[in-house]
Structure 1
Amino acid sequence: MPVKAQQIDSVYRLKTSREVVLFGVGAASGIASLVAGQTLDPLTPQAIQALQRSQLAGINRGAAYQWSPTADQLSDLTFVGTVGVAGLVALPTLRQKGRAIIPVMFLETALLTNGIQRTVKNIAQETRPYVYNPDVALSVKTGKDARRSFFSGHTSNAFAAAVFASTVFSHLHPDSRLKPLVWGGSLVLATGTGLLRYKAGQHFPADLVVGAAFGSVIGWVVPKLHQRTGKRQLSVAPWANGQASGVYVRYVPVYR
C-alpha cells in the first residue's frame, strides 16, 4: 500500500527566537574562527626539521606516511556528493507550503559545523600528518593550513550533510522502503570522504573520528530541534489488491 509523504509544514516549523539563536551561534563561531586564525603562525623550516615520526603515538604514525593530492581532490567530490543527497531530499518539498524550512535548517547546520570546527582548528593548531612526511615539499609544510589538523572539516561537514539528509528523509517519509538506501548511501559517501582525507595525509585517525561524531550530532540535532512535537496514534484502514483483502494497522505520528 503506498504511503503518502508527510507535508513539510506538518513535520517541521521555524521559530524566530530559535533561528536567531542558531544563526547567532553559527555567526559568532565563524567570527571566533577568524580571530583565532590571526594568532596562528606557520611552522618554521627549523621546527619542521625537528619533527620525527617516532614522536607520534602508534595509532597516528601510519598517517605520517600518507600523501596524495589525488585523494585530496577526490575527498572534495565525495563531500559534494553528500551535499547532493541533501539537495535531492529537499527537492520534492520545493512546491510545498513551508518550502524554505529545509534550506534554512541546512544553512544552520552548515554554519554551526563550519564555525565551530574552524574555531577548534585555529585554537588547537595541531600539525597535519603530511608535515612529518619527507616526500612533501617544504613550501606546503610552511603554510598556515599545515597546522589545522584537529579536527577534520571535510569529515565533519560530510557527516553533518549525510545525517541531516537521512534524518529529514526519515521524518518526511517515515514508512519509505528507501530509508536504508538513503542512510547507507549518504554515510558511505561521508565515510569515503574521511578515508580519502587520511590517504591524502591531511588528518590523523582521531581527527576523522571526532569530525564524524561532531558532524553527525549537528546533522541530527538541527532537524530534531525543528520537529513539531506530537504523539503516535493507531491508524486502521481496509485494503485490497484484487486477490485478497484485509485491514492495515499502524501507528502514525500526529504533530501539533
Structure 2
Amino acid sequence: MHRYLTVLLVFFICFSLSAQNGTSPYKTDFWKDGAWVTGGVGLNVLGVLMIQNKDNLSTADLEALNREDIWAVDRWAAGNYSKSADELSYIPFYGSFALPLLFLSSRNERNNFGQISVLFIETMATTGAMFTITAALVEKSRPLVYNKGLSEEDRLDSDAQRSFFAGHTAATAAATFFAAKVFQDFNPDSAALPYIWTGAAAIPAFVGYLRIDAGKHFLTDNLIGLGIGAACGILIPQLHKKENKNLEVYPTVQFNINGSGMNSRGLGISYRF
C-alpha cells in the first residue's frame, strides 16, 4: 500500500511541475486533488478490509430466505446463475477502464492527458470507495443464493452476501460517463455527442444485464450502481470546470478540541452565492 501511495505522489509531483495547456476546460490543484485521491484510495482500502471481515451466511439464515420477501421488481432474478455470463461481464468491465486512452488520439486532449488522468483516478477512486463501504455494511444475498441447485458452500459464502449495490456496473458507468463528459467538455460542438452518450449508457447497461444473468445482482442493485457510477463520471469533471468560479473543493484538517493533535483529514466543498 505504501508503495502504491508513493507512486501516486510521484505522479502528482510530475503533474504539478508540468504546465497545463490553456485550452483545457478544467482546473486542477496539486494539494486539493492529491488529498482527493489519497482520501479515495484510503476509503477503498478500508472498504476492502471491511468486506474481507464479513461473516458467511448461517445455515439457519439460508433456510429462512424466502423469494416472497424480495421486491416484486427484483423477484424474477432470484435463483439466477450463469458462470459464462459472469466471465463475459469482465470484458466490457475491464475494457471501459481503457476508454481514457482514446483521448491520446486527439491533440488537444493529448496535451492535457496528465490532467485528464488525475480526474479519472478521482472518479474511479470515489466510485470504488462508495461501493466497497456500502458492500461491506449492507447485508443482501445475491440472486444465486436462492438457487438450490448450487452447493451450500457457494450459497453461504460471504461474497454471496454483498448484492447491494452492483460494483461492476457502477465502475463501468463511472468510466464510460467520464469519457463522454470529458469528450463533450473538450468538443462541445461535436456531431458525435449523441452517439458518445448513447454508448456511455449502453455499455454499463449491458454489464448490468450480464450481472443479473450471472446471479450476482438484482435489477435494483444494477440501477443504483449505474446511477452512482454515472453521477461520479459526470460530476467530478464538472466540479473541476474553470467556469465554476463559485464552487471550491479543498482539503480540510480537523483537530481535537483539547488540542492534542490531528483528528482527521478530508475534503471540503463550498459554494458562494
TM-score tier after normalising by the smaller chain length: 0.7 to 0.9
Residues 91 and 57 (structure 1 numbering): CA distance in 2 closer, same or farther, change over 3 Å? same
**What is aligned with 1:216?**
230
Give the distance between the partners of 2:107 and 2:114, measured in 1 at CA. 9
Within the candidate set 12, 15, 24, 2:26 is matched to 12
Give the distance between the partners of 2:22 and 2:61, measured in 1 at CA. 54
Residues 122 and 143 (structure 1 numbering): CA distance in 2 closer, same or farther, change over 3 Å? same
Following superposition, the deviation at residue 38 of structure 1 comes to 4.6
Matches within 5 A, 1:65-144: 65-93=79-107, 96-144=110-158
Give the distance between the partners of 1:20 and 1:153, measured in 2 at CA. 24
**What is aligned with 2:255?**
none
Q: Runs of 4+ in structure 1 displaced over 6 angstroms?
A: none
Question: CA offsets, 1:55-77, max 9 Å, x none?
Answer: 22222211113111111112111
Give the distance between the partners of 1:36 and 1:44, measured in 2 at CA. 19
Query: Which residue type is aligned with residue 10 of structure 1?
Result: S
Structure 2 unaligned regions, length at least 5:
1-20, 246-273
Following superposition, the deviation at residue 149 of structure 1 comes to 0.7
**What is aligned with 1:227?**
241
Within the candidate set 163, 181, 191, 1:149 is matched to 163
Residues 222 and 93 (structure 1 numbering): CA distance in 2 closer, same or farther, change over 3 Å? farther
Please say if 1:189 is aligned against 2:235. no
Give the distance between the partners of 2:54 and 2:232, measured in 1 at CA. 26
Give the distance between the partners of 1:144 and 1:155, measured in 2 at CA. 20
Structure 1 contact 8–93 (Cα < 8 Å) conserved: no
Give the distance between the partners of 1:96 and 1:60, measured in 2 at CA. 43
Structure 1 unaligned regions, length at least 5:
1-6, 232-256
Structure 2 contact 103–109 (Cα < 8 Å) conserved: no
Give the distance between the partners of 2:86 and 2:211, measured in 1 at CA. 6
Following superposition, the deviation at residue 227 of structure 1 comes to 1.9
Residues 94 and 126 (structure 1 numbering): CA distance in 2 closer, same or farther, change over 3 Å? farther
Larger Rg: 1
Residues 8 and 70 (structure 1 numbering): CA distance in 2 closer, same or farther, change over 3 Å? farther
Give the distance between the partners of 2:242 and 2:51, measured in 1 at CA. 39
Instruction: Tell which deviates more after alignment, 8-17 or 73-82.
Output: 8-17
Give the distance between the partners of 2:110 and 2:101, measured in 1 at CA. 15
Instruction: Tell me the secondary structure at the aligned position of residue 64 of structure 1.
Output: coil
**What is aligned with 1:238?**
none
Question: CA offsets, 1:13-60, max 9 Å, x none?
Answer: 321232033213312321330342254101133322332222222222
Within the candidate set 166, 182, 205, 2:180 is matched to 166
Following superposition, the deviation at residue 223 of structure 1 comes to 0.9
RMSD value over aligned CA atoms?
2.2
| TM-score, reference length from structure 1 | 0.80
Following superposition, the deviation at residue 96 of structure 1 comes to 4.2
Give the distance between the partners of 2:147 and 2:106, measured in 1 at CA. 47
Give the distance between the partners of 1:223 and 1:108, measured in 2 at CA. 9
Structure 1 contact 64–201 (Cα < 8 Å) conserved: yes
Please say if 1:61 is aligned against 2:103. no
Instruction: Tell me the secondary structure at the aligned position of residue 65 of structure 1.
Output: coil
Structure 2 contact 172–204 (Cα < 8 Å) conserved: yes
Within the candidate set 53, 56, 79, 1:42 is matched to 56
Following superposition, the deviation at residue 90 of structure 1 comes to 4.5
Instruction: Tell which deviates more after alignment, 103-112 or 221-230.
Output: 221-230
Query: Which residue type is aligned with residue 113 of structure 2?
Result: R
| TM-score, reference length from structure 2 | 0.75
Identity of aligned residues (%): 30
Higher relative contact order (CA 8 A, sep 6+): 1
